[in-house]
Structure 1
Amino acid sequence: MKFTKQGNVQKVLHKLKYNGHQQIGITLGHWYGHELSAASLNKEFDFILPVPLHPDKLKKRGYNQSDTFAKGLSDSMGLPWYQNVLQKGTFNETQTNKRRLERWQNVKDVYCVKDATVIANQRILLVDDVVTTGSTLEACALTLVEAACKEVSIATIATA
């Protein structure tokens, strides 16, 4: 889906992210996962990882919107998903109003792998709600590659 300011996708994602409508992420994950499975892409991954939130933000929001999407994908693709393998160790400012370089600098070195043995030589589907510049997904993927995963692919609900 294409994310545009004031568009329907933005409205739906804001309900998911800021208004407690976790079922939106699960439902979109089911739909997307069925499409990926119909194309036999579920066989390309060993498990699914959501982009993590910092523990303080998670506590404030009560859930991780990317995790709800990952759960829906997991259910429909028959793949496990792990919530706490990839972690965000540093609290950083929101990416919302930042330019590309600022986004990269804001997320550089903030992610870590809790247990590298879980991801060693594994094919990972990394998921997030929206990709804007790709800085967050790139930072997470680099962290996973540095921890010796075999391959990282990405899926998002929308692109901006």
Structure 2
Amino acid sequence: MKNLLNLFFPKVCPGCSAHLGDYEDYVCLECRHELPLTNFHFNGDERVKNVLYGRVPLEHATSLLHFSKKGIVQQLLHNLKYRGQEDVGLFLGKWLGQELKNLEAYRNIDLVVPVPIHKAKMRKRGYNQVHKFGEEIAAALQVPFNNKILQKRSSTKTQVFKDRLRRLDTDKSTFRVADENELKGKHLLLVDDIITTGATVEACAQVLLNIEGVSLSLATMAMTD
């Protein structure tokens, strides 16, 4: 049946658009081998944490991939955000989740929370590009995933291609928490697609860390070089 479906509705790699083989899952083997893994969570590299040094007290922080303009990761994230290819988030979430679940640093996570998008963007796109990524990580860590608790008040343009100063001017009142009591005393893992200057994470952290007993860690699909 799978071969018959592939004959009429062939699956293509979101990285290079080549048809996927029977044993390839979401990304072709060639693109998978080309993905620039950071291995931050394995080698103790605190580069992601250092982006927010002095601004957000993170317990742990990591990114799965290095992001560079015109590279394969940019292509993957573009397909995820603008071409409806949600399976990219699923694929990357499964990958990172399987790695984090074996690490002591991530075994005391209580809840996975995605960086939200505004309801206007949700209506236009139809999904939050971080949703499946976060769901897969939560499943691997065997903790709940909550995409309703952190909400975005106002719509802002994408951060990736903004200049540094404008990214740092992200409105600190952009986000709100629906029910603070649900988060009290918990270690949250905030998940996002990409970290650049950390302005979006900082804005989220300002409302999350204002809740009694909350501690915060971060995991993203990619980090800009």
Task: State, as a whole percentage, how many aligned pairs show the same letter.
Answer: 39
How much does 1:149 deviate?
4.6
Question: Within the alignment, does 1:85 sit opposite 2:149 as a pair?
Answer: yes
Moved more, 100-109 or 124-133: 100-109
Letter in 2 for 1:123: H
Q: Give the greater-gyration-radius structure (CA).
A: 2
C-alpha displacement at 1:94, in angstroms? 3.0
Q: How far 1:100 moved relative to its partner?
A: 2.8
- TM-score for both structures, normalised by structure 2: 0.68
TM-score, normalised to structure 1, is 0.94
CA distance in 2, matches of 1:83, 1:147: 17
- 2:214 is matched with 150
Distance of 2:139 and 2:219 partners within structure 1: 15
Q: How does 1:20-39 map to 2 (within 5 A)?
A: 20-39=84-103
Question: Which of the pair has the greater relative contact order for Cα pairs under 8 Å at 6+ separation?
Answer: 1
After superposition, give the CA deviation of every residue in 1:25-66 in whole Å (9 maximum; x if it has no partner): 112111101101111344221010000000000110000011
Q: Which has the larger helix fraction?
A: 1
Worse overlay, 67-76 or 44-53:
67-76
Gaps of 5+ in 1: none
Residue 74 of structure 1: which of 106, 120, 138 is its match? 138
CA distance in 2, matches of 1:70, 1:107: 24
Question: Residue 58 of structure 1 aligns with which residue?
Answer: 122
Structure 1 segments, 4+ long, off by >3 Å, are none
Deviation at 1:109, TM superposition (A): 1.0
Tell me how many residue pairs correspond in the alignment. 160
For the pair 1:102 / 2:170, whether they are aligned, the reply is no
Give the Cα–Cα distance (whole angstroms) in 1 for the partners of residues 77 and 213 of structure 2: 30
